[in-house]
Structure 1
Amino acid sequence: MALMITDECINCDVCEPECPNGAISPGEEIYVIDPGLCTECVGHYNEPQCQQVCPVDCIPLDPERKESREELMAKYQLITAA
């Protein structure tokens, strides 16, 4: 699954630089995650780095975007091959 940022986001700016795929960016009101770039840090780290640094715990799994670990690894390989 890709991750998502909920309305509880306080725009603290700590998640964006932690994303190894550049999937996090400022949205109109809160930060947003591009599901096409989010691999939950598979291929880079054991755990999603944005979740680790978020002070308000507002980055859950996106239930609309279910992906297996294998699918996330394949996405990671496509992203890093470019």
Structure 2
Amino acid sequence: MSTANERARMTDLALQEWGVVVGILAERGESWPDTDVTRWGPGVTAAMERTRALCAACSIVGATEAADIGRLADLYEARTRS
């Protein structure tokens, strides 16, 4: 089992990468989930793949608040609003 510090670090890494996705989408005039994934270029596609991998890792270590894209997006919004 992972420690609280490890879970927090994994969550932070996932949030950081999600910020990359959000930033690229914003540059395109889009936002999550209102985006057309069929029109994504390699940058946003790669960032989303990294985010999905980090979400999977979060799920494995027990960081449930970042265990999938939906939860991660909600957490990102909550943290960026405060």
Which TM-score applies when normalising by structure 1? 0.35
Bigger fraction of residues in strand: 1
Bigger fraction of residues in helix: 2
